[in-house]
Structure 1
Amino acid sequence: MQQAKNGDTVKVHYHGRLTDGTTFDSSEGREPLEFQVGTGSVIAGFDQGVEGMSIGEKKTINIPVEQAYGPKDPGMIVEFPIANFPPDMKPEPGMHLNMTNGAGQVIPVVITGVGADTVTLDANHPLAGQDLVFDIELVAIDSPSRIIMP
């Protein structure tokens, strides 16, 4: 029976949740997630969890912070002057914004606090600092062609 290995393109259905059971993402009602195993296109723990699975196999994988989005980085949390916000904007905790750095790169942030003069912005991935749990089902494997020359 064929098993998923590095270099294979696979398709998986998944249900991702936090350790408290809260769902953060699912492929339910959508096409399965397609990615190439071992290329870093998904988080390390997910990649490793799929490796060795066979088509039709289902399993639950527990992914620690270090193999998911990593720990929260305090350097990604900044105080931003409230005066730099547009006058017609009222910043509120939980609000998602896109900021631009000096190089023109867009950085998604969430407002985590609003003070009298500053707004606290968090640019960490929303799942940083979280252990994750995925229920996965491998639905397809496409191995790269291997041509053997005489």
Structure 2
Amino acid sequence: MLQGQEAGGGATAAATVRSAPLVAVEGDIVTLNWKCFSEEGELLESSDQSEDPTTFEVGAGDIVGNRLFEAFDEAVRGLAVGDITELKAEGGEWKPELLFMVPREHEEIQRLEGRYKNMGGLKEGLVIQLSNGGMALVVKEDEASVTLDANNMLAGKSLLFQLELVAIDRPSS
């Protein structure tokens, strides 16, 4: 912004006045575009694919209790609109005890078969919700049993997120 200032002798001098860019702080509503890459650099998912940028209140990560969301929340603090940052996320250790084979006649498998019947039943690659609320991946299925992996879907993997801050809305006090 240019402002005219009167200099000595009645002449007007132009001075450039620059304000510091608005940066994200706790309480701001921020909007991000993001991309998620595999360890090998393959683009796995992005906000472009979902057609929805991610919007949240800075500081809400403490309340939500999701580690990835907490990391996003921390990463945007101090960023200005247009800034891009990267964040590495580790999926944690893969635990072999969370891989289990369940006989087809087990009541949980029967319940799941009914629930996912309209999706073709329990098929390899299907992510299902167990009766305890946990998620599992159907790893293998045959006539006698279904093998489920209840590990976090990112277990044993690292992901790289590229975050671009596209908007900051600071609620007025």
1:129 to 134, 146, 156: 156
Structure 1 residues 37, 74: CA separation in 2 closer, same or farther (over 3 Å shift)?
A: farther
Aligned-partner SS, 1:63? strand
Number of aligned pairs? 138
CA contact (8 A) 1:45 1:63 kept: no
- 2:135 counterpart (84, 108, 113): 108
**Which residue in 1 is equivalent to 2:102?**
80
Larger Rg: 2
Superposed CA RMSD: 2.8
Asked if structure 1 preserves the Cα contact closer than 8 Å seen for 2:88 and 2:160, the reply is yes
Output the TM-score relative to the length of structure 1: 0.72
Deviation at 1:90, TM superposition (A): 6.5
Offset, 1:96: 2.4
**Alpha-carbon distance change, 82 to 18 in structure 1, aligned in 2, over 3 angstroms:** same
C-alpha separation in 1, matches of 2:22 and 2:28: 11
Residue 28 (str. 1) matches residue 53 (str. 2)? no
Determine whether 1:98 maps to 2:134: no
The CA deviation string for residues 36-55 of structure 1, in whole angstroms up to 9 with x for no partner, is 22322461332222121101
Residue number in structure 2 paired with 1:6: 26
Structure having the higher helix fraction is 2
Q: Secondary structure at the match of 1:7?
A: coil
State the 1:75 CA deviation.
5.0
CA contact (8 A) 1:46 1:63 kept: no
Matching of residue 19 in structure 1 with residue 50 in structure 2: no
- Distance in 2, matches of 1:48 and 1:71, equals 23
| More deviation, 119-128/47-56 | 119-128
Whose relative contact order is higher, 1 or 2, with alpha carbons under 8 Å and at least 6 apart? 1
